[in-house]
Amino acid sequence: MAKLNQTITRWQGMGLIATTLLGTGVFILPQLTIAEAGDQAIWAWVILLLGLLPLTWVFAELGRRFTHAAGPAYFVDRAFGPLAGRVIGLLFLFSVPTGAAAALVMTFKFLNPVVTLSAEQQLCGELLVFLLLFYINRRGLQLSGRIQMGLTLTILFIVILMLVMTLIQTPATAAVPVMHKPVVAGDYSGIMQAIGLAIWSFLGIEAITHLAGEFKDVKKDYIPATLIGVSLVGLIYIGCTWLAMQAPEHPLAMVGLFEMQFGNSGRWIIGGLGFISGIATINIYLASLSRLAWSFSNDGILPHPLRALNQHRVPATALITFMVLSALMLIVSYFAKMDFTVMAHWVNGSFVVVYSASMLAAWKLLDRRCRPAIVISLFACGLFIYCLGTAMLYPVLLGLLITLVLLRQKIWQRNNPTSEGTGL
């Protein structure tokens, strides 16, 4: 079997993981968690990070020992059979368009301090971004590990700079006087709601399993890269949450605080970084999604046309299909006046199901020394499910629908043994 190009170093892998996780929410989600948990928002991030570190380690062990491009779907397949693996793979596949739509809405919020767009203009701009991403991806062009590492380091530099300036600066020396209005006191319920929303920031932990086969030295570098990357992201979010508390009344707190410290350039620097980072994350997910859909088409799980490759050896049909689905979700959310946090909770629920199934698979696939971390990870998944509440109905219903369709497909193939799988 041909191997993937093994070029990723430890630090490039860390950059890829960190940038994927920072994505669309790095300068927005902290402020949203403050709205839910008040002055206790930092504790929501700390609890989330502590729950995710063992889960990350288990994913890294799975990826290191069972390297496969299908990631979680492959682990579940190995542990519980093809049907369970396909359900998990398709649950992920059909949740990403909803997530991409929500992520794009979130990304465009970074333009608000710079330019005023009507709802119709924003929708047109979002649809144009999908067209741009299709043009980029149809030639197989993706952001490299070095570029993503540079973006991560830039965000980290800005956050550290703002932290230092906030600690040493006084209202008298600030470019714009800082308004220290106290943040509303939080409670247990608010912390749980904030955790349910903050899960969005770590969607992509499962993506580390897809990267394992492309590391130069997977045994030496893979686990450190994943743990350092996730820890770095967690610390950045904790830092951004504390910073957002310094300007709670600003529509985009990080922009407001940057302008308090350095003048009016904040809307361009923070807005630009947030917008570029968001687009980069959506690009990565749509590119990965098209490859997974192409793989499922070759296996007869999805319709045959999705297996077509263009002249650049890119699954363009799969790419445009799921971009259209993402655009349709965007249009539906616009006409239904659906808040992007609602869609984010739905997608969070789908990923928690994927994570839970992967941890159960790890119990069967990994040795006993991994079980304490698996137990902690399953407990964390249970906490996430509790925090998401009724939003878990979305992945449950979607998973049930996928299961029924796969069972129907299996029955049809059994009754037509000489026919080739036609897909869903």
Report pLDDT digits (tens) over 360-414: 999 999 989 999 999 999 999 999 999 898 999 999 999 999 999 888 877 877 7
Mean pLDDT on 3-18: 64
Q: Which overall architecture, per CATH, does domain 10-411 show?
A: Up-down Bundle (1.20)
The CA-CA-CA angle for residues 245, 249, 254, to 5°, reads: 55
Mean pLDDT on 267-286: 77
Q: What is the pLDDT of residue 177?
A: 46
What is the percentage of the chain residues whose pLDDT exceeds 90?
A: 18
What is the percentage of the chain residues whose pLDDT exceeds 70?
A: 82
Q: What is the pLDDT of residue 312?
A: 66
Highest mean pLDDT among 27-36, 77-86, 99-108: 77-86
Q: What is the pTM of this model?
A: 0.80
Highest mean pLDDT among 219-223, 300-304, 381-385: 381-385
Instruction: Give the DSSP letter string of 362-410.
Output: HHHHS-GGGHHHHHHHHHHHHHHHHHHGGGGHHHHHHHHHHHHHHHHHH
Which pLDDT band, with edges at 50, 70 and 90, does 181 fall under?
low
Highest mean pLDDT among 91-105, 176-190, 281-295: 91-105
**Cα separation of the two ends of the chain:** 27
Q: What is the pLDDT of residue 161?
A: 84
Report yes or no: 337 and 123 within 8 Å, Cβ to Cβ.
no
Mean pLDDT on 74-95: 90
Q: What is the pLDDT of residue 408?
A: 86
Strands (E), 119-225: none
Q: What is the pLDDT of residue 142?
A: 47
Residue scoring higher pLDDT (244 or 23): 244
Mean pLDDT on 261-273: 77
